[in-house]
A and B are shown apart, each in its own frame.
Chain A
Amino acid sequence: MPVLLQLMLEFFKTGLFAVGGGLATLPFLYQMSDATNWFSHADIADMIAISESTPGAIGINMSTYAGFTTAGPLGGVLASLALAAPSLIIIVIIAKFLNKFDENKYVQRAFYGLRPASIAMITAAGLNVIRVTLLNWELISGGSGSFAEIFKWEAIVMAVALFFAMKYLKWHPVVFLAISAVIGIVLKF
């Protein structure tokens, strides 16, 4: 099979079965790495770091990267589109269905359960970011360090300032992201 087609097939499969966001693609990427020699486990680790420092989900980033290293720029583009295709098809079907059954009692009841579940997922994801960003988690799990050392104070002060700034200044979130990047560089976070 031509490598381009094989790339697209593998990433289509990943897009179809990875449910629940970018990190859900990781197990599939490790499997793909073992089954093909498109990228190594070390490449995946690098890609996690790159994904944290670029916009876009890790699944998309990995498909672009693997596609590029095996088949050039076209490979990168096609592999990413293949990853996105299953969710596009599924969401279009669901959107069609939801538009039709918007008023249905059972659909609305299902959303009664789905909404708090969705918020719970968002909050848990937020907690994860807070843990690595505002806390010195290794000190807590390592059992050493005084109480005050557990918190990354400068980051917490910055977070509180950002919170109130966003509340009262109606600037675009991108402005706050840019300011935060500059503060990070200047203060050497």
Chain B
Amino acid sequence: MKELLDLYLAFFKIGCVNFGGGYAMLPLLEKDLVQKRGWTTMDHLRDYFAVGQCTPGIIALNVSTFIGYNKKKLPGALAATVGFLTGPIIIILVIAAFLTNFAHLEIVQHAFAGIRVCVCVLILQAVIRLWKKSVPDVLAFCVFLVIFLIMAGTQFFPYSAPAALLVIAAGVFGIFFGRSDAEQKEASAAKEKQEGH
């Protein structure tokens, strides 16, 4: 029971400060769950994000459910997800009831212009940290480049990209042309051997 409460509280905290979407959540998860509590690893988080990307629902929620489930099965999944939701629900209820012009207040706008700068840096750091293990070779880099160009292009050209389909396509591509972890180790060992001779 105490563990469930811990899960709930940990995600309640993260939910209260998760500005800027699911990706800005990664440094928070790293600090609180990987470094402080040792509940999960960066490698696992990376995979949760990959799955959360191509399944229905909000990515931050999907990641919360994943961590909660792997810690304490279904009750854990519920505790983490509801914990993550609690803060935003309370905040919006308060705003809807009392502060309908909240987003138009000058001080709020300035504060969030500042917070957005921080969110840029947080996302950049998430990318740097995940890069090495997510993009192990040229083939994986090609997958990255194609999907990045398509997704980034939606901001500059008038089309919308089916993000979920792209991610699923990348997974299918991996099944046919990718390497499993063991195969990657073999390949890098063979390469080292070759270079040694």
Contact = CB atoms under 8 A, between A and B. Distances in A.
A57 B27 contact: no
B98 to A, nearest CB: 11
A120 B151 contact: yes
Interface stretch (A1-9, A30-38, A47-55, A143-151): A47-55
A52 B103 contact: yes
B117 A111 contact: no
A109 B179 contact: yes
A9 B133 CA distance: 40
B90 to A, nearest CB: 9
Contacts of A124: 147-148, 151-152, 154-155
A163 B18 CA distance: 18
Contacts of B184: 112
A155 B117 CA distance: 7
A136 interface: no
Contact of A110 (B57, B92, B100, B172): B172
Interface string A68-91: 110001001100110110111011
Interface stretch (B2-10, B161-169, B189-197): B161-169
A181 B178 CA distance: 43
Contacts of B111: 53, 181-182, 184-185
Contacts, number: 362
Nearest to B121: A162
Interface in B46-99: 46-47, 49-62, 65-66, 69-70, 74, 77-78, 81-82, 85, 87-89, 91-93, 95-97
Q: Chain A, interface size: which category?
A: 35 or more
A162 B77 CA distance: 34
A19 B21 contact: no
Given A172-B31, A173-B28, A68 B92 contact: yes
A91 B93 contact: no
Contacts of A111: 47, 50, 171, 174, 178
Contacts of A188: 110
Contacts of B104: 49
A19 B166 contact: no
B34 interface: no
Nearest to B111: A181
A120 B60 CA distance: 17
B158 interface: no
A142 interface: no
A163 B31 CA distance: 16
B1 interface: no
Contacts of B178: 109-113
Contact of B130 (A84, A96, A119, A185): A119
13 contacts: A20-B164, A57-B22, A57-B60, A73-B93, A84-B85, A90-B57, A91-B57, A92-B69, A110-B178, A117-B53, A118-B50, A118-B134, A184-B113
Interface of B: 15-23, 26-28, 31-32, 46-47, 49-62, 65-66, 69-70, 74, 77-78, 81-82, 85, 87-89, 91-93, 95-97, 100, 102-104, 107-127, 130-131, 133-136, 140-141, 143-148, 151-152, 154-155, 163-164, 166-167, 170-184
Q: Which 3 A-B pairs have the closest CB atoms?
A: A184-B114, A87-B57, A113-B174
Given A15-B56, A124-B152, A173-B31, 12 more contacts: A15-B57, A20-B163, A22-B21, A55-B91, A56-B15, A57-B60, A90-B56, A111-B174, A113-B140, A181-B115, A183-B114, A185-B110
